[in-house]
Each structure stands twice: as C-alpha cells, then as structure tokens.
Homo-oligomer: A and B are copies of this chain.
Amino acid sequence: MAYLNDNYLKLRAGYLFPEIARRVKAFCDANPDAAKRLIRCGIGDVTEPLPEAVRNAMHKAVDELGSRDTFRGYGPEQGYEFLRHAIAENDYRAHGLEVADDEIFVSDGSKCDCGNILDILGGENRIAVMDPVYPVYVDTNVMAGHTGEADASGAYGGLLYLPCTEANGFVADVPSERADVVYLCFPNNPTGSVATRAQLEAWVAYALKHQSLLLYDAAYEAYISEPGIPHSIYEIPGARECAIEFRSFSKNGGFTGTRCAFTVVPKTLMARTKSGESHALHPLWNRRMSTKFNGVSYVVQRGAESLYSSEGKVQVQALISHYMGNAAVLRKAAIDAGLAVWGGVNAPYLWVRTPKGISSWQMFDRMLSEANVVITPGSGFGSAGEGYFRISAFNSRAAVEEVAARLAKF
C-alpha cells in the first residue's frame, strides 16, 4: 500500500477556524432567534465591495480574453511583468527600497506562500515562531516533518516558541538561542502589535549574526497608521541578506475571495546545503514556482495592478479608513467596558484580555451565547494566547456599532 505522510497525523484535530465554525453552527441551530442577531468578528475576512478600479480592470481583462488578438494563455509563472513592476515600483522603489521587478513573485495568497516556502528549505532547520502565532506557520512545519508531536498545550516538539506577552508589548524579544528560520508577522496577526524600527533592527542583527532566514509576513502592512513604524523589512539595512517578505492584496484591496499576493525573494539571499555550500534562494524559489505553479489568473493580475492606479490608491485608502474607523469604535467600546486592549491602532485586530478567571474558549462561548458576537479565542493561536481574545474590525460600521453597544451591556 502507498505510504502516506505520517507527519499529517501529528496535526491537532482542527484548524482553529473550522472549530469556531462548528461551535457557531451548533449555537445557531439550537438558538434560531439569537442566530439572527449574530455578528461575526472572528475570522479576518473583509466585508466591503471590491474597489471599482479593480472591477473595471477585471471587466476589461475578461473582454480581452474574448478576442483572439488579445487572448492570454499561460502567463509567466512568476507573474506578469506589468504587475511585478507595479509592485516593485510602488511598494518598494518609491520608498527608496531596492527591490528588482524579478525579485517579486506573484501568487494566489500569502497563506499559500508561507506554506510553500518550506519546499525550498531543508528539514534540518531549527524553526522559531511567535506564541501566539498564525497557525499556518506551525501547521505547515508539522506537515513538512520539521517538528515532533504536540504536547498537552498544543506546542510541537522541535519548534522554538517565542512568547509575546504584555511585558514585551506582544513583540517577541530576540532569543539568546540560535534559530535558522524565524517567522515574523507585523502588523501582527493575531495581536495587532507592530515592531518599531529598533525592534526590527535587532531582528535583522540577530539574523545576520546567526545567518538565519527571516520569513517576514507583512500581509497587514496597509493598516500601519503611526509614523516611524517600518512597512517593510527591507527598510532595515541588511535585510536583503536575511529576509523574505510576504505581502497580500487580501486585506488592502479586499481580495480575500479574488486571490492575489506576492513574495519578495532578494537575489542576495543565501542558504546552505547540508555539506555547507552556500547557494542563492532566488533560483530555487523560481524553480519551485515554475514547476509547481502556473501563475495567477490574468484577470486577477489586472485587477491587482489597478490597485496601484491613482483611483485604485484612493479606493484602497477608503477601505483601510473604513476598517480602521471600525477598529477605533471597537477599541473605545472595549476600553469603556473595562477591558485591557492592545492592537487596533496599526492593525485591524484588537487583542483583549479576558476578565479574570475566564479562559479564552469560555469567553468565546459567553460572547457567542450572551452577546451573540463571534470572536476568536486567543488560545487558538498558542498557549501564550490563553486569557486573551481577538476581535476583528472587518465589518460594516453598523455591525461594529452594534457590537460596541453589546460590549457596553456585557
């Protein structure tokens, strides 16, 4: 009989969000009236319409496919030059950051890229993740055989967990131990924290010292509103020698259902073979994408390109302002309700301490049954998340104001 990948059997029962969906469904089935009042502030999914610039660009692209002369078949696996150029120019070179067009790899999602990047890395790496952590970083390492079994708290053997706590403002300190690969996510999902320039400088210094690879997930970059907070890891000198950056159009352009993202792999980034030879990672990622991917839909890439047009930029800003306005409403309501709150300033997520003696999942169940609001239990992101919950600001203003009113009564 064919062998399966045994590592999959190490995975804990459910990815966080299916478990939330299960509990919400059970509650709604049992309480049909309360179900009508339900407001979802759980999963970080956008709610507002796709920008007009994107829809216009996609309509135009669909029409192009209807004529032989403008039809597009297989595109470059790495993304069309028009989009790679728009990204490199607008997100990097316009800010004085050196990123070449061909260091941009267009993909169908940051979740995919964060998982797929392990394809080009060896099994020998010591991997560090934050705790709490976006579960995909951990689960994809489990699947790839880079961990042992999970313990009772859900932590996997072999991973180095770096606690994010109130004491460090939910930005993990640089550890004393060496890690070969470190996942960083700023603005952070789930805590909404951001790293200052000094904190990122410390991480880059760490990586250069240990010759570690930083996997920098900046999917929420567009939500940074305070001046001085770096938007890209490449703002830190030396990062081109130690960091891959992931970005997405999901949360700025409202692309969660449209699907487009990108990964930056600098040509100056090296890794080593088991025998100690050093090789650039750029050609490996290029080979991975050429062999196991066939590029993003032409229509979608034209949509993504339009986000960099003058109308597109204005429309993205309006979306960000809407969600960050929501975050401000939620933040005030949570603070007024006497809760301790982090995030929601440079990120669409609020990270809230549960009232004393109440666990994350107890809070989830109480918010669901008493306030009919879906939140995300902090413990779902790791044991250091116990005692917290995440509120997502992705919603209509009316729904968010209703959540604020319910929090006041809760």
Interface positions of A (Cβ within 8 A of B): 1-6, 8-9, 11, 15, 18, 43, 45-50, 52, 55, 58-59, 62-63, 65-68, 71-75, 108-109, 111-112, 115-116, 119-125, 136, 139-140, 143, 180-181, 211-213, 254, 256-259, 270-274, 278-279, 281, 284, 287-288, 290-300, 396
Contact = CB atoms under 8 A, between A and B. Distances in A.
A59 B56 CA distance: 10
B125 A257 contact: no
Q: Give the top 5 A-B pairs by smallest Cβ distance, nearest first.
A: A3-B122, A1-B211, A115-B292, A2-B213, A45-B73
A223 B299 CA distance: 26
Contact of A288 (B74, B111, B143, B211): B143
B68 A49 contact: yes
Contact of A258 (B3, B63, B65, B119): B65
Contacts of A298: 257-258
B281 A4 contact: yes
Contacts of A273: 3-4, 6, 9
A115 B291 contact: yes
Contacts of A67: 49
13 contacts: A2-B122, A3-B271, A4-B273, A8-B120, A47-B68, A47-B71, A55-B66, A59-B59, A116-B292, A143-B291, A259-B297, A297-B299, A300-B300
A227 B248 CA distance: 48
B3 A279 contact: no
A240 to B, nearest CB: 15
A410 B307 CA distance: 50
A257 B73 contact: yes
Contacts of A290: 15, 18
Contact of A58 (B112, B136, B281, B299): B299
Nearest to A15: B290
Given A112-B294, A256-B74, A258-B299, A274 B3 contact: yes
